[in-house]
Structures are given as C-alpha cells and as structure tokens.
Amino acid sequence: MADLKSSFVAFCDATKKGSDKASDKTIKKIFTDCGVFKALKLTSNDMDISVSSFKGKEKIKGDLDYNQFCNFLKHFCAEAATKKKVESADKAEEASQEAASKDGATKRLTDVKGYTGAHKERFDADSGKGKGKEGREDVAKNEGYVSGYKNADTYDEAKK
C-alpha cells in the first residue's frame, strides 16, 4: 500500500504542484498510466460515471484525498465486478493495485535527470525539488543607470 500512496501523491503533485488531492483528470491519468483500465477491462467513460456516482453517494465536493481515493478504487472495482468484466471485486482490486505498484510512469514523471532544455533549469539537480519562480522566469535586476546596463559600478575602477 505504500507504493500506491507514493504513486498517488506523485501523480497529484505532477498534475497540480504541491497538491495531495486527485481531481477526475488526475484519477484518469493514474488509471491510464498504471494500466487499471486494461486490468479491469473498463474505459475512461466508465470511470467518469463511477467518480460522479461515488462523489454523490459519499457527499464529496471537489477532489479526492488518498483515503477517499482508496474507497473509490474499491467502489470502481465493485462496479467492474457487477458489469461482469472481472470475476470478483477482490480480484479487480488486487489487479489494480498491482498495476499501480509496477508503474514506471511515476518514476519517469518525477525523475528530473531525464529533463532537457528549459525544463532542466526548473529543478535543482541534487535534490530534484522545483526552484519555483526562480526556475520559471528570468528576473531582471533593476540596478544601474538603465535597466539591463551591464557595467554597473565600474566607473570608479576605470578612474583609478
């Protein structure tokens, strides 16, 4: 279950920086990348319908946290069993958790060593943490006579 939680948090963070809750879009990405749709023989439309019914039944507004996601996973597997796509809800849940624990997509999403170009500059090479605004924008220094003046504070050196 620790693998499932770490995968869940990584997907949430990749979809919305700093988030630990999953939107419908995040759940669809998790299920697609982890092979849950293939394991349960269901589609993304089935998942959308299931998310709506689960949120209505549980009276949840907004995104799902990890515990709610686990409950939704059980709900989704039970629906797969009732649609006769899999033998039982327990086997469906086991298949979906195995698909998530063998996931290589999460590793690729969170490994900054594979990033190139401008994206490489957005993350610290040692820790892998994002640099925030520093990594996204070139902040101009408003120093000197005019903005962008390169030889600031060199007048006194030339006089010596």
Burial of 127 (0-12, 13-18, 19+ CB in 10 A): exposed
pLDDT of residue 110: 63
Distance, C-alpha 88 to centroid of its chain = 29
Please report whether residue 91 resides in a domain. Answer: no
Please report whether residue 38 resides in a domain. Answer: yes
Please report whether residue 118 resides in a domain. Answer: no
Instruction: State the total domains in the chain.
Output: 1
pLDDT of residue 58: 82
Length of the chain: 160
Please report whether residue 158 resides in a domain. Answer: no
DSSP string, 39-83: HHT--HHHHHHHHHHHHHHHT--S-B-HHHHHHHHHHHHHHHHHT
Could you read off the pLDDT of 26-71 as tens digits, one per residue?
A: 888 888 887 777 777 788 888 888 888 888 888 888 888 888 888 8
Please report whether residue 14 resides in a domain. Answer: yes
What residues are paired with 130 via a beta bridge? 123
pLDDT of residue 81: 75
Q: How far apart are CA 72 and CA 36, in angstroms?
A: 13
Please report whether residue 107 resides in a domain. Answer: no
Segments in the chain below pLDDT 70 = 1-2, 84-112, 118, 125, 127-129, 134-145, 147-149, 152, 157-160
Phi, psi of 141, rounded to the nearest 5 degrees: -85, 125
Q: Are 43 and 32 in contact (CB under 8 A)?
A: no
| Full residue range of the structural domain in which residue 44 is found | 8-80
Please report whether residue 145 resides in a domain. Answer: no
Please report whether residue 22 resides in a domain. Answer: yes
